[in-house]
Amino acid sequence: MILFRLAIAALVVVLGLHQAAGQTPAPRGTLVEKPWEKLSNKKLMEFGEKALGANPQAWKHGETEHFVFHFQELADAQKVGEFAEAYYRQIQKDLGVTQDRLTRKNHVFIFNDGEEWQKFVKIVRIGEWAMGVARRTELFLFSPQGSRFATGAIGHEITHCIFYRFVPNPVPLWLNEGFAEFESTHAYAKFRDLDETRYGGRRPVHYPLKQLLAATKYPKEDVSKFYAASERLVRFLLMEQDRRRFLPFVQMVASGAKSEDALLFIYHDQFKTFAAFADAFEKFNQPPARQNEP
Ligand SMILES: [Zn+2]
């Protein structure tokens, strides 16, 4: 399953790279710099090995509670570390899951050098415009020197990595991308104490529901609508329905059930038929009252 999406992030907010004076990061997000030899986990996957190259000592390294970082600029890693741990906590809460199926940490690689990043982009075969990509538990980010991260994209990719820790099997494409889109707004808003209604869900997204649920490949057209509709559907399940049913639903489709069947099974007392579910979702998907618009 492809685990990246870096077109135009729905939420384009930038994170400053430097901690405000006197601001102390959350203890669990605090990054502790360590030499390569002292890292708690040095086992990398295929792309992680390629990213680090033959000489891990050429990178700096560090760890937070759930992530191992490889970087050039400590400030980048500290900021992403704080952000990633906040995402971890929020996703754990939203899924209502206590058991992380992995004990080892995720690896995060932060490139600063444009040429090195472009070399890596070719290896992973993503678009040269990409600023980050997730592959299972590994996350690769480009932070151009002197620039700042676009956290909308980072949040989406971080969510993919974290979701993988709690759900062992692939889930349908709409659920994987929709959850990443949802958390890139929701977890960010919680992290920054922002009103998330300012960022998303203001416009209806029209995408054929059955087509969305059954998709196994990214559509050739209307990709942004596919992401947006997926996000709306996840938001509908997490914010409008009993959130405690979301994880059983995810586990059921991860075990091979079709989305449509699992929706009707898990939410059976709410929706007797798929048409009833589609109606309720369509209502949720309607635009808000327009009295404040010019
Ligand atoms: Zn994605």
pLDDT in tens, 219-254: 998 899 999 999 999 999 999 999 999 999 999 999
Give how far Cα 151 sits from Cα of 84, 92, 159, 195, 228, Å.
11, 20, 12, 16, 17
Lowest mean pLDDT among 167-181, 182-196, 263-277: 182-196
- State the pLDDT confidence band at 149, using cuts at 50, 70 and 90: low
Residue 125, both tokens: 């075969």
Please answer whether residues 244 and 267 qualify as being in contact, where contact means their C-beta atoms are separated by less than 8 angstroms: no
Pairwise CA distance, residues 126 & 261, whole Å:
34
pLDDT in tens, 69-125: 999 999 889 989 999 999 999 999 999 998 898 889 999 999 989 999 999 999 888
- State the pLDDT confidence band at 132, using cuts at 50, 70 and 90: confident
> How many angstroms separate the alpha carbon of residue 181 from the centre of ligand 1?
7
Give how far Cα 10 sits from Cα of 96, 153, 177, 178, 227, Å.
25, 8, 13, 12, 9
> How many angstroms separate the alpha carbon of residue 27 from the centre of ligand 1?
28
> How many angstroms separate the alpha carbon of residue 239 from the centre of ligand 1?
21
Pairwise CA distance, residues 91 & 162, whole Å:
8
List the shell of residues around ion ligand 1, using CB closer than 5 Å: 5, 177, 180
**Secondary structure (3-state) at 106:** strand
**Secondary structure (3-state) at 109:** strand
- Could you list the beta-strand ranges (E) of 90-232: 106-111, 132-135, 138-142, 149-150
- State the pLDDT confidence band at 202, using cuts at 50, 70 and 90: low
35: pLDDT strictly greater than 90:
yes
| Count of residues in the chain | 294
Neighbours of 222 (CB within 10 A): 13
In order of their start, the domains of the chain are 26-166 (3.30.2010.30), 200-284 (no CATH)
Q: Which residues of 201-210 are buried (b: 16+ CB within 10 A; e: fewer)?
A: beeebebebe
Residue 9: predicted pLDDT = 33
- State the pLDDT confidence band at 47, using cuts at 50, 70 and 90: very high
Pairwise CA distance, residues 97 & 6, whole Å:
28
Q: Phi first, then psi: give them for residue 152, nearest 5 degrees.
A: -55, -45
> How many angstroms separate the alpha carbon of residue 4 from the centre of ligand 1?
4
